[in-house]
């Protein structure tokens, strides 16, 4: 039973990031690049595309970890790096106050929780 739960967790977690990566690649590169450009971030489109590739590869490796647990180590590390960078670049809650801070705080907490999930994926693969 626990193996089924672990498999389902990998499908839900990895699959979500594969879908997010595909969606971001198809629809969100201009919007995300614009956010970084507005912050005077150099080569914003390249940075966004690399981030989306990390998102997709990390998700795929998390899915692959169902069959090859060691793939979860690489996938988990990639996803933690992705989530930390996404938080710092797109949800810097420390730069906001009042109502404007609330969605960024929620995103930061969500990404922190997801980092915890990916630490579990890494632990299973070690």
Q: Domain segments of the chain: what residues?
A: 2-125
Confidence of residue 13 (pLDDT cuts 50, 70, 90): very high
Spatial distance between the Cα atoms of 42 and 50, rounded to a whole number of angstroms: 13
pLDDT at 48: 98
Q: What span, in angstroms and rounded, lies between the C-alpha atoms of 111 and 115?
A: 6
* pLDDT tens digits, 77-87: 999 999 999 99
pLDDT mean over 27-43: 97
Instruction: Count each helix (H run) and each strand (E run) in the chain, helices first.
Output: 5, 0
**Are 76 and 45 within 8 A, CB to CB?**
no
Quick one: pLDDT band at residue 29, thresholds 50, 70, 90? Answer: very high
């Amino acid at each position: 039973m626990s193996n089924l739960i672990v498999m389902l967790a990998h499908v839900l977690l990895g699959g979500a990031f594969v879908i997010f990566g595909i969606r971001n690649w198809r629809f969100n590169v201009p919007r995300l690049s614009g956010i970084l450009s507005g912050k005077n971030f150099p080569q914003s489109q390249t940075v966004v595309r690399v981030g989306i590739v990390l998102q997709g590869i990390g998700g795929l490796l998390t899915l692959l970890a169902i069959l090859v647990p060691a793939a979860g180590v690489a996938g988990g590390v990639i996803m933690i790096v992705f989530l930390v960078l996404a938080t710092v670049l797109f949800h810097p809650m420390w730069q906001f106050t009042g109502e404007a801070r609330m969605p960024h705080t929620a995103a930061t907490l969500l990404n922190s929780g997801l980092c915890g999930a990916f630490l579990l994926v890494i632990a299973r693969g070690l």
